[in-house]
């Protein structure tokens, strides 16, 4: 049995992409991550109960009057205490600061419902419909301090129908998110876990 990378998922709501990650870790023997910790920034997030039923440690960490920096410091402590090596955002509705990302020193991944760099930020599906694009989709990417601007790991496209509503397009994109995100987590970790190629031994040169 290969060793899996201890990973955490950050959520704010029901966590349907969290469920897709948990399913992949449960169903695929060669999946490279184990999801050992789920943290929500909202105590009423439905995903917390789902995570607990799946056997994950799950807890709420809400920001208090001490402010964002104190909240991020506590989040860093929780992740380090659990020996987390990878963080996946799944419907997590907070921006993480550059200071947090640098201090954590672990990769953070996200799934976004547009073909980045198009339509970053909130309501990406509504942005796509307003722009009149014929193709939409989703993007898995690394998280940096600039919102939705980190290196892209993978994308999936969906057609935009003539009379699409935001709800219909969102549902079509979400199905692709559930497929793409676990695949990109596996791809990302696979690339990081590849052993360095062994250099070819040099042929000795004999003096004549």
Give pLDDT, residue 204: 47
Q: Do domains 1-106 and 112-193 have the same CATH topology?
A: yes
Three-state DSSP at 80 gives helix
Give pLDDT, residue 65: 85
Angle at CA of residue 6, ends 81 and 19, nearest 5°: 110
Query: Residues with catalytic annotation?
Result: 112
Residuewise pLDDT in 10s, the chain (208 residues): 468 999 999 999 998 999 999 999 999 999 999 999 999 999 999 999 999 999 999 999 999 888 999 999 999 999 999 999 999 999 999 999 999 999 999 999 999 999 999 999 999 999 999 999 999 999 999 999 999 999 999 999 999 999 999 999 999 999 999 999 999 999 999 877 655 454 454 444 444 4
Spans of all domains in the chain: 1-106, 112-193
Residues 6+ away with beta carbon under 8 Å from 178 = 16, 17, 19, 20
How is domain 1-106 classified at the CATH fold level?
A: Rossmann fold (3.40.50)
Helices (H) then strands (E): counts for the chain? 6, 7
Tell me how far apart the alpha carbons of residues 32 and 145 are, in angstroms, rounded to a whole number.
Answer: 26
Angle at CA of residue 109, ends 15 and 3, nearest 5°: 90
Give pLDDT, residue 207: 46
Give pLDDT, residue 3: 87
Give pLDDT, residue 115: 98
Looking at the domain covering 112-193, what would its CATH class be? alpha beta
H or E stretch at 136: strand 135-142
Tell me how far apart the alpha carbons of residues 12 and 93 are, in angstroms, rounded to a whole number.
Answer: 6
């Amino acid at each position: 049995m290969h060793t899996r990378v201890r990973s955490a998922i950050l959520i704010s709501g029901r966590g349907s992409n969290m469920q897709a990650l948990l399913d992949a870790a449960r169903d695929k023997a060669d999946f490279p991550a184990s999801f050992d910790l789920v943290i929500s920034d909202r105590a009423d997030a439905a995903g917390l109960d789902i995570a607990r039923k799946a056997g994950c440690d799950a807890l709420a960490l809400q920001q208090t009057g001490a402010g964002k920096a104190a909240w991020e410091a506590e989040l860093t402590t929780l992740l380090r205490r659990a020996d987390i090596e990878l963080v996946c955002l799944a419907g997590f509705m907070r921006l993480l600061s550059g200071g947090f990302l640098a201090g954590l020193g672990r990769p953070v991944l996200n799934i976004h419902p547009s073909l980045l760099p198009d339509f970053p930020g909130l309501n990406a599906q509504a942005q796509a419909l307003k722009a009149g694009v014929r193709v939409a989709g989703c993007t898995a990417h690394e998280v940096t301090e600039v919102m939705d601007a980190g290196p892209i790991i993978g994308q999936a496209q969906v057609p935009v129908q003539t009379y699409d509503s935001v709800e219909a397009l969102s549902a079509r994109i979400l199905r692709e998110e559930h497929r793409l995100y676990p695949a990109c987590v596996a791809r990302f970790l696979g690339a990081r876990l590849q052993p360095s190629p062994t250099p070819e031994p040099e042929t000795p040169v004999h003096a004549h």
